[in-house]
Amino acid sequence: MARFVRPQDFVWLLLFSTLAYISTDRDPLEIPLLLALATLQILEPKIAYFSTPIGNVVSILLKLVMSYILIGVTGGLTSSYYLILLLPLVSAGTTLGSLGSILFTIICCGAYASFSHPFFLDPARFQIGPDEQRELFLRLIMLAATGYLTNTLSASAREESRKLKAVAEQLAVANRNLSEAEAAVRRSERLAALGQLSAGVARELRNPLGTIKGSAEMLANSRSTENEVAREVAGFISTEVDRTNLLVSRFLDFARPMQVRVASADLTQVLDKAIANLEHSSPRYDVSIYRNYAPEIGPIPLDADLMERVFFNLLLNAAQATPPGGTITVKTRPAETMAEISVIDRGSGIAPEHVENIFNPFFTTKPEGVGLGLAIVSKIVDEHGGKMAVESEPNKGSIFRVYLPLRK
């Protein structure tokens, strides 16, 4: 109710009620026209149609027609209601822009001036002499000046509104970038701390793993061929040591400083190689990959091998999350000083409580996962001076965005 009834509605009711009360009842249409104008003025902001460009023009024309009839039935040039033309005039000035305001100012002035035509005048009661002509001219000038001032003030208000909207959008972008930067800083701090821990643990594990594997090989060689159980167990030990050693190597890859060799490279070629690598090495994923590259992005500075690894990991994750027969889209576009690369899938998505943690080392929701893939991806992108962002909704898919500088 509070949204439907506005304080200014009571002002309009008071204004038109007063006009109706003091009317001279010279014509039976006077009060109905005042009530019709009051109703339109109050209901106009509440009817959605009148908020459209066409509806707005219709509303102004209705006010103009009713105002014109009201002036006509109450004396024409001698009518005290000539100022009622300010309703369509001000409405046009505040909503239609300069051209529309000028057009309706001319129409309103012409409508009032038409009452000076002999068709509307009773020569026995009214003659247009020099004084009457001067009064008519002054009224027309006042109407035109009001229309001009209204449009000027409205244009200034619209410009200020546009500026405020632009500032609000800039602040929203700045806040979003600040949030992403804070998340990146927190992620970098966690990466640094966990990287040091990983390096220490990996080095401490290397020596006992070597000893275990050597002992298993000696055990396998010392057993007779008849003792198949011992030889099989020794083989299991050696295999698991190799798997653990590979995991340790990945820890060390994550922990040690990266050697980023930046050179000018074609981004589309890097993406195509990553896609081809996925299709060749992981044929079991029944997905289609669509390319949507922006041709205006030329060569950019990056380490092609490392970035191919980044895109391969993102594509692999997307393929694992996408049901058979699904699609993955790889899209590029310029974003100010950065190149934006998006990997879009319509798969299982990521739970909201996991989104902030997916780039943390050792965080994974996969039963067989280690949780280093996205952590290493994030580290490579950071080393390039870029950033990452992710949007995801459970059961609707994910969008991983990589931003890389277009120039050094």
Other C-beta atoms within 10 Å of 348: how many?
Answer: 17
> What are 178's two structure tokens?
């600040």
Sequence ranges of the chain with CATH classification 1.10.287: 186-255
pTM of the full predicted structure? 0.48
Q: In tens digits, what is the pLDDT along the chain, a chain of 408 residues?
A: 445 677 777 787 788 777 777 766 566 777 888 888 888 888 888 888 888 888 888 888 988 888 888 888 887 777 778 888 888 888 888 888 788 888 888 888 888 888 776 665 555 555 666 777 787 888 888 888 888 888 888 888 888 888 899 899 899 888 888 887 787 777 667 666 666 666 666 667 767 777 787 777 776 777 655 567 776 777 778 777 777 777 777 666 666 666 788 899 999 999 999 999 888 876 677 888 999 999 999 899 999 999 999 999 999 999 988 888 889 999 999 988 899 999 999 988 888 888 877 877 667 776 666 667 788 888 889 888 898 889 998 888 999 999 999 887
CATH 1.10.287 assigned to domain 186-255? The reply is yes
Pairing type for strands 326-335 and 338-345 reads antiparallel
Residues in CB range of 293: below 8 A, 6 or more apart: 267, 268, 271, 330, 331, 332
Find residue 333's DSSP bridge partners. Answer: 340
Sequence ranges of the chain with CATH classification 3.30.565.10: 263-405
> What are 282's two structure tokens?
């992981």
Other C-beta atoms within 10 Å of 351: how many?
Answer: 13
Q: Tell the CATH superfamily of the 263-405 domain.
A: Histidine kinase-like ATPase, C-terminal domain (3.30.565.10)
